[in-house]
């Protein structure tokens, strides 16, 4: 029997890589904008036809490329931005992988014209389906223009998953807006089907640029610095808050990112003034040493990792809270809510927790300070399964998982009322098999599942590949989440949406017994409302405090 393992064809390898980097026209626009910015461009023009499926053209006035560099730039992993591992861990440019142009060229008909200011003539390169078709001298102005035509012409299975022209155009506008917000010095003009659709003129500062985007509301500018981390934020009033973090733009070292913990930290800085599940509109930009950020975490570079994530989240909340005035109690409120330097629970309350008439579950986590929302205060997390809380005159023992599921369900429900959920692209698409009943349920509820952020395709009669899941769900097994959603729809009652949101909330909750970080536990307690039946179902037991142990008691 001969060998069954073989090397893949280079063209097929490029198409596989393209699937990780380029999922829709907006992805390629993002990559081309990043290349233009790294090239020092001060003016960038983006032109679209048919939502980017027919044509995407990005022109810049950057430094351009020599003929030799132009020929290399369409080869995989060819880059001028890193050369060693040390360069990789201190990346300061937006691009660095050397994957964008070859990935785009593998699934389109792409041409690049480029010239350095010192050169008499430029260079033109044409790539079709990953194959270089032409390299020739070409007359062009200094800078670089990349034209991408017939995206996914050679992978029709991918092309059919693109949305309507208006949807794809909107996604591209969002990418351009994110780029313009953090680069106020940039002139960015976006045209669609021959008409100018967006125009961002150079501005003096982040705040000035933000006013051109959020010009319908007053904005508060916040600057702070602590322990080598600089924060600059421009935030709209609480009245403009929206369900979900879609209108909160986050940046790290001028790189647009998606980070649920960081978004929650921003919302948490408002105390209890934001409605549950709501986030402010605005921009939050962090600057920190490059070695403290790992940008090599996702092919599309929308996620980063921090060397001291919990410490950074804590600092961001403190810096924002100090300016937002989240509580009339001032700094003392936040010392209790966030800091280990805040006051510890009183001896009377600790004694009451361990008294015989109280619940005896297990050891108390020592790193949980008393917090101070109006309705509940978190005293401790017990054996990673329970939350011990108090109100004015009572102590509550909560099932942590049920409490988190109730909060997640409410957050998901409010997000769906604002439109379709944002999809989260998977680094490695997941695969699962469905029986006849599950396939029938999938066909019956296809529209609902797409609106919730799922994207999938059939690999055969029974096998399916999952490409995206709802961004709110996190990073657990996509196949399991998708199967749970289908099972909930199949077994659910008259309200399919509630059934599947319940399944998503259950999948997103921290498993019992697994350690939950402090901010997440505080956030759950702060958002619980004992007036809601769904939230009260998380209570295992409650009992009254003696008069001398209540607030204001002796």
The pLDDT tens digits for 374-413 are 467 888 888 888 889 887 778 888 888 889 888 888 888 8
Q: What percent of the chain has pLDDT over 90?
A: 31
pLDDT at 274 over 70: yes
Burial of 435: CB neighbours in 10 Å, binned 0-12, 13-18, 19+: exposed
The answer to whether 131 and 11 are in contact (CB under 8 A) is yes
Residue 225, classed as helix, strand or coil, is: strand
Specify the range with the lowest mean pLDDT, choosing from 32-36, 62-66, 255-259, 544-548.
Answer: 544-548
Residue 36, classed as helix, strand or coil, is: helix
pLDDT at 417 over 90: no
Alpha-carbon separation of residue 303 from 27, 169, 262, 424, 439 (angstroms)? 14, 23, 11, 11, 33
Specify the range with the lowest mean pLDDT, choosing from 80-94, 270-284, 523-537.
Answer: 80-94
Nearest Cα neighbor of 297 from 309, 306, 286 is 306
pLDDT at 390: 84
The answer to whether 466 and 430 are in contact (CB under 8 A) is yes
Of the pLDDT bands very low, low, confident and very high (cuts 50, 70, 90), residue 253 is very high
Specify the range with the lowest mean pLDDT, choosing from 250-254, 360-364, 475-479.
Answer: 360-364
Determine the Cα–Cα distance for residues 369 and 291; give it in Å rounded to an integer. Answer: 31
pLDDT at 348 over 50: no
351 against 129, higher pLDDT: 129
pLDDT at 236: 92
Specify the range with the lowest mean pLDDT, choosing from 122-126, 217-221, 347-351.
Answer: 347-351
Of the pLDDT bands very low, low, confident and very high (cuts 50, 70, 90), residue 280 is very high
If you ran DSSP here, which 8-state letter would residue 344 be given? Answer: P
Phi then psi for residue 498, to 5 deg, are: -60, -40
Q: Token digits for 135?
A: 């390299």
Other C-beta atoms lying within 10 Å of the C-beta of residue 10: 12
Of the pLDDT bands very low, low, confident and very high (cuts 50, 70, 90), residue 371 is very low
Residue 552, classed as helix, strand or coil, is: coil
Of the pLDDT bands very low, low, confident and very high (cuts 50, 70, 90), residue 15 is low
Specify the range with the lowest mean pLDDT, choosing from 149-163, 195-209, 294-308.
Answer: 294-308
The answer to whether 185 and 173 are in contact (CB under 8 A) is no
pLDDT at 139: 93
The answer to whether 333 and 372 are in contact (CB under 8 A) is yes
Q: What is the mean pLDDT of residues 504-515?
A: 82
Determine the Cα–Cα distance for residues 368 and 518; give it in Å rounded to an integer. Answer: 7
- Mean pLDDT over all residues of the chain? 80
Residue ranges of domains in the chain, CATH in brackets = 10-200 (3.30.565.10), 206-331 (3.30.230.10), 344-554 (3.30.1370.100)
Nearest Cα neighbor of 67 from 102, 113, 8, 5 is 113
The answer to whether 323 and 224 are in contact (CB under 8 A) is yes
Q: Token digits for 212?
A: 């051109």
pLDDT at 19: 47
Q: What is the mean pLDDT of residues 229-248?
A: 90
Q: Token digits for 202?
A: 């150079």
Q: What is the DSSP string of 297-310?
A: T-TT----EETTHH
Q: In terms of residues, how long is the chain?
A: 554
pLDDT at 347: 31
pLDDT at 145: 98
pLDDT digits (tens, 9 = 90+) for 157-193: 788 788 888 889 999 999 999 999 999 999 999 999 9
Q: What is the mean pLDDT of residues 258-277?
A: 84
Alpha-carbon separation of residue 145 from 25, 33, 41, 61, 458 (angstroms)? 16, 11, 12, 9, 37
Determine the Cα–Cα distance for residues 349 and 369; give it in Å rounded to an integer. Answer: 12
Q: What is the mean pLDDT of residues 309-325?
A: 84
496 against 550, higher pLDDT: 496
Place of tokens 């030799």: 68
Which residues, 6+ apart, have CB-to-CB distance to 277 below 8 Å? 243, 244, 407, 410, 411, 414, 415, 527
**H/E element holding 470?**
strand 463-470
Q: What is the mean pLDDT of residues 103-110?
A: 92
476 against 128, higher pLDDT: 128
């Amino acid at each position: 029997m001969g060998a069954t393992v073989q090397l893949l064809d280079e063209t097929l390898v490029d198409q596989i890589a393209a699937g990780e980097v380029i999922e829709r026209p907006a992805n390629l626009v993002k990559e081309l904008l990043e290349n233009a910015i790294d090239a020092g461009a001060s003016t960038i023009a983006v032109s679209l036809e048919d939502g980017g499926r027919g044509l995407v053209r990005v022109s810049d006035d950057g430094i351009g490329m020599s003929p030799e560099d132009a020929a290399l730039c369409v080869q995989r992993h060819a880059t001028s931005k890193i050369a060693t591992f040390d360069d990789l861990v201190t990346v300061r440019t937006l691009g660095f992988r050397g994957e964008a142009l070859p990935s785009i060229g593998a699934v389109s008909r792409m041409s690049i014209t480029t010239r350095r200011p010192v050169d008499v003539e430029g260079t033109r390169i044409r790539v079709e389906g990953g194959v270089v078709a032409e390299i020739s001298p070409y007359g062009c102005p200094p800078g670089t223009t990349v034209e991408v035509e017939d995206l996914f012409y050679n992978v029709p299975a991918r092309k059919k998953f693109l949305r309507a022209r208006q949807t794809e155009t909107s996604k591209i506008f969002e990418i351009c807006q994110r780029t313009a917000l953090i680069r106020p010095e940039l002139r960015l003009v976006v045209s669609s089907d021959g008409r100018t659709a967006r125009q961002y003129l150079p501005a003096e500062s982040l705040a000035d640029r933000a006013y051109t985007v959020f010009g319908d509301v007053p904005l508060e500018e916040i600057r702070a610095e602590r322990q080598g981390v600089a924060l600059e934020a421009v935030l709209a009033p609480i009245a403009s808050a929206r369900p979900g973090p879609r209108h909160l733009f986050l940046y790290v070292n001028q790189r647009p990112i998606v980070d649920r913990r960081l978004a929650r930290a921003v919302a948490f800085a408002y105390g209890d003034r934001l409605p549950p599940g709501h986030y402010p509109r605005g921009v939050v930009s962090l600057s920190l040493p490059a070695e403290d950020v790992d940008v090599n975490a996702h092919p599309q570079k929308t996620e980063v990792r921090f060397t001291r994530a919990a410490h950074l989240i804590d600092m961001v909340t403190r810096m924002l809270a100090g300016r937002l005035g989240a509580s009339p109690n001032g700094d003392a409120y936040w010392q209790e809510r966030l800091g280990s330097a805040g006051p510890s629970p009183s001896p009377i309350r600790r004694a009451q927790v361990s008294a015989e008439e109280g619940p005896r579950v297990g050891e108390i986590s020592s790193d949980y300070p008393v917090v101070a929302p109006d309705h509940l205060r978190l005293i401790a997390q017990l054996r990673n399964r329970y939350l011990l809380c108090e109100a004015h005159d009572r102590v509550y023992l909560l099932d942590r998982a049920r409490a988190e599921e109730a909060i997640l369900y409410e957050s998901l429900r409010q997000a769906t009322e604002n439109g379709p959920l944002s999809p989260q692209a998977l680094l490695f698409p997941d695969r699962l098999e469905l029986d006849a009943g599950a396939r029938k349920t999938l066909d019956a509820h296809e529209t609902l599942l797409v609106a919730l952020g799922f994207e999938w395709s059939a690999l055969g009669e029974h096998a399916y590949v999952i490409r995206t899941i709802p961004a709110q769900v996190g990073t657990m097994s996509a196949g399991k989440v998708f199967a749970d959603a289908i099972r909930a729809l199949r077994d659910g009652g008259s309200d399919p949406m509630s059934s599947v949101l319940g399944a998503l909330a259950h999948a997103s909750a921290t498993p019992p017994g697994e350690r939950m970080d402090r901010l997440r536990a505080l956030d759950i307690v702060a958002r619980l409302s004992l007036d809601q039946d769904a939230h009260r179902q998380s209570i295992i037991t409650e009992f009254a405090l003696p008069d001398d142990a209540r607030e204001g008691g002796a």
